Structure 1
């Protein structure tokens, strides 16, 4: 058994198609499994690959976009952990993958506690099949909806690992573009901010778009899933971050947010194709 200073690791080599996923509808594409497919993962079904391939046919760079999103998340989590943060609330976490929040943070601070939250029972069913329980009780998985932030904040499993009287890192990675304007994404972020102690951090990444044609295609494809997508402009994304002081370099295309020193240089075309903005903000 691992000792208390060893970060909890995800199992490797899982393939959900070799399992018998009870209660999971494999006839409808799911954004979390599409995301896994973009990452060259194995936790997806034929229907997910077919939907994702429609996006890839029109925008082959979509796989690059998703990979850049994961890299941004890891850099942002590392940034927070290196500055002493030891509790994280990851809302809309999606399927567990290598390099998840707890892996990155616990590699720096093994005492780190992480509450994963997702509203979709499909995601939770996969997560429970793919992840063993954390024997130290420092990682929990909770079913709750970001559209109901009070229920997220008050969830019993979240409260087991997150103390809102202390600084916490709230992660909204690739989530807010799945919340329609009428569902008040700004109000959701504001309610989370109210619950966060001073010194807390917010990690956000959000899809934008480079053409109306691709925007409409994304909306059409994801409309057939349970999570229609709403790409937003940089200005619209910035408005969601009201009340947070953004750390340098602010809200930027995600490859430009504190890149690793040895990161390969992207061409202007590749940078233009990575249609995601990201930022880390501090609650003052």
Structure 2
């Protein structure tokens, strides 16, 4: 187990997307500024609470599918967020106890709770590195230094609810390519991404709230999300709203959840 710390101070003067997400999930690891921003976003779209839950449910299903059907035994999870059990390594190790997972995030509050991310099985290994996805070279160097992942064997790159926080000036497609490049054939990209496709006025409002709070976002169309998977072989059912990816698309009451309520596209691709 290893942790890499950059020594950045915790900024509680403005909201952070990871802490807002914690609020939407009903967690307790956020501050009043995060709650206030989350409530404003939820005024624009009350479905954000359900979107957050479906995001995690997709992560659980994608992890199990990659372990059970594609032989994946290693994961690199970027944009980890504040730990909420079951975490990715717990899901993976419930299927394959020897699974190895490295988490990466750029919020010092996530680092504070990183011990939750490193309670591995005896057979497996986990690590946490503090790194920023907008600097993929430094991030991958930190991951390699952690010494947990074997880059000669397939690795699943997990990018859940992350890339819509990477705006165009940072060249998000180049970032994903840089993260995928050192991964061998048989590796995977599992990601989901908010889209305005199903309800443009609402999601434009949500984007405005996040941007005004100091966290710029870029919600992308199905066509633009699909570009992240260029050169990969998408597994069934392709890129669809995440609550339908290997799931029924139904709510707890048995009724169908409209795509517009979730507006989170998801897909999993395998590297040739």
Q: TM-score range with shorter-chain normalisation?
A: 0.7 to 0.9
2 CA distance for matches of 1:226 and 1:124?
21
2:20 is aligned with 1:44: no
Give the 3 Å change call, closer, same or farther, for CA 186–266 of structure 1 in structure 2.
Answer: farther
2:76 is aligned with 1:94: no
Structure 1 segment 148-167 matched on structure 2, within 5 A: 148-155=135-142, 159-167=146-154
Unaligned runs of 5+ in 1: 1-21
Alignment-derived partner of residue 3 in structure 2: none
Alignment-derived partner of residue 229 in structure 2: 241
Pick from 178, 203, 211: which aligns with 1:215? 203
CA contact (8 A) 2:23 2:30 kept: yes
Give the 3 Å change call, closer, same or farther, for CA 231–64 of structure 1 in structure 2.
Answer: same
Give the 3 Å change call, closer, same or farther, for CA 194–148 of structure 1 in structure 2.
Answer: same
Shift in Å, 1:168: 0.4
Pick from 147, 166, 173: which aligns with 1:179? 166
CA contact (8 A) 1:152 1:158 kept: no
In the TM superposition, structure 1's runs of 4+ consecutive aligned residues that sit over 6 Å from their partners are: 260-263
2:66 is aligned with 1:77: no
Q: After superposition, what is the alpha-carbon deviation per residue over 1:7-35, rounded to whole angstroms, capped at 9, x for unaligned?
A: xxxxxxxxxxxxxxx94333321111110
CA contact (8 A) 1:142 1:157 kept: no
2:106 is aligned with 1:119: yes
Pick from 12, 37, 40: which aligns with 1:26? 12
Shift in Å, 1:263: 7.1
Shift in Å, 1:126: 3.9
Unaligned runs of 5+ in 2: 1-7
2 CA distance for matches of 1:164 and 1:266?
44
Partner of 1:122, secondary structure, is helix
Pick from 268, 271, 279: which aligns with 2:259? 271
Shift in Å, 1:271: 2.6
Alignment-derived partner of residue 216 in structure 2: 228
Alignment-derived partner of residue 181 in structure 2: 194
Alignment-derived partner of residue 53 in structure 1: 39
2 CA distance for matches of 1:278 and 1:131?
24
2 CA distance for matches of 1:138 and 1:219?
37
Give the 3 Å change call, closer, same or farther, for CA 177–25 of structure 1 in structure 2.
Answer: same
1 CA distance for matches of 2:93 and 2:248?
19
Shift in Å, 1:65: 0.8
CA contact (8 A) 1:114 1:140 kept: yes
Partner of 1:151, secondary structure, is helix
2 CA distance for matches of 1:115 and 1:225?
30
Alignment-derived partner of residue 104 in structure 1: 91
CA contact (8 A) 1:29 1:224 kept: no
